[in-house]
Structure 1
Amino acid sequence: MNDLVTYAYAVARADDMLHVRAAVLKGVADSPVHLVPGSHDDTLVLVVSHVPAQDFQEDALKLHLEDLDWLEAVARAHHGVIEAMAVHTTVLPLRLATVYLDDTRARDVLDARRALFAERLAHLAEHVEWGVKIHVEPSSAPAAPAPQRGEALSPGRAYLRDRRQQQSVRDSVYQDARQAAETIEALGRRYAVERARHRVQQGVLAGPVGENVVNDAYLVPREHCEKFRSEVLHAADGLRGVRIEVTGPWAPYSFAMPSVVADDAAAGTEP
Structure 2
Amino acid sequence: MSTYVYGIAPADRELPDAIEGIGDPPRPVRTVRGGDLVALCSDAVTEVRADRRDLLAHQHVVIEAGKEGPVLPLRFGRISPDDATVAAVLEEHHDLYTERLKALAGKDEFNLKVHHDREAVLHAVLAEDPDLMARHAADRASGGTGREERSVFDELVARAVAERERADALLVERTLSAHAAATVHGPGDTGHLVNLSFLVERERRDAFLEAVRALHQEHEHLREQVMGPLPPYSFVEEV
> Which bin holds the TM-score, normalised by the shorter protein?
0.7 to 0.9
1:1-271 to 2 correspondence within 5 Å? 4-15=1-12, 18-19=14-15, 21=16, 23-29=17-23, 30-38=26-34, 41=35, 43-53=36-46, 55-56=47-48, 64=49, 70-142=50-122, 145=137, 147-149=139-141, 151=142, 154=145, 157-158=146-147, 160-202=148-190, 211-258=191-238, 260=239
Cα distance in 2 between the residues matched to 1:179 and 1:44: 45
Cα distance in 2 between the residues matched to 1:169 and 1:240: 19
AA matched with 2:199: L
Question: Which structure 2 residue ranges, 5 or more long, are not aligned?
Answer: 124-135
**Count of residues in correspondence between the two structures:** 225
AA matched with 2:182: E
Check 1:153–1:9 CA distance in 2 against 1; reply closer, same or farther (3 A cut). Answer: closer
Q: Secondary structure at the match of 2:215?
A: coil
AA matched with 1:113: H
For the aligned residues, what is the CA RMSD? 2.5
Q: Which moved more, 1:70-79 or 1:116-125?
A: 70-79
Identity of aligned residues (%): 26
Cα distance in 2 between the residues matched to 1:231 and 1:177: 19
For residue 213 of structure 1, report the CA deviation from its aligned partner: 2.3
Check 1:120–1:147 CA distance in 2 against 1; reply closer, same or farther (3 A cut). Answer: same
For residue 170 of structure 1, report the CA deviation from its aligned partner: 4.4
For residue 128 of structure 1, report the CA deviation from its aligned partner: 1.4
Do the aligned partners of 1:201 and 1:215 also contact (CA within 8 Å) in 2? Answer: no
Cα distance in 2 between the residues matched to 1:147 and 1:118: 64
Check 1:152–1:124 CA distance in 2 against 1; reply closer, same or farther (3 A cut). Answer: closer
Q: TM-score, normalised by structure 1?
A: 0.73
Check 1:74–1:165 CA distance in 2 against 1; reply closer, same or farther (3 A cut). Answer: farther
AA matched with 2:86: A
Q: Secondary structure at the match of 2:203?
A: helix
Do the aligned partners of 1:134 and 1:177 also contact (CA within 8 Å) in 2? Answer: no
Q: Secondary structure at the match of 1:46?
A: strand
Cα distance in 2 between the residues matched to 1:184 and 1:141: 15
Q: Secondary structure at the match of 2:68?
A: coil
For residue 137 of structure 1, report the CA deviation from its aligned partner: 3.5
Question: Which structure 1 residue ranges, 5 or more long, are not aligned?
Answer: 57-63, 65-69, 203-210, 261-271
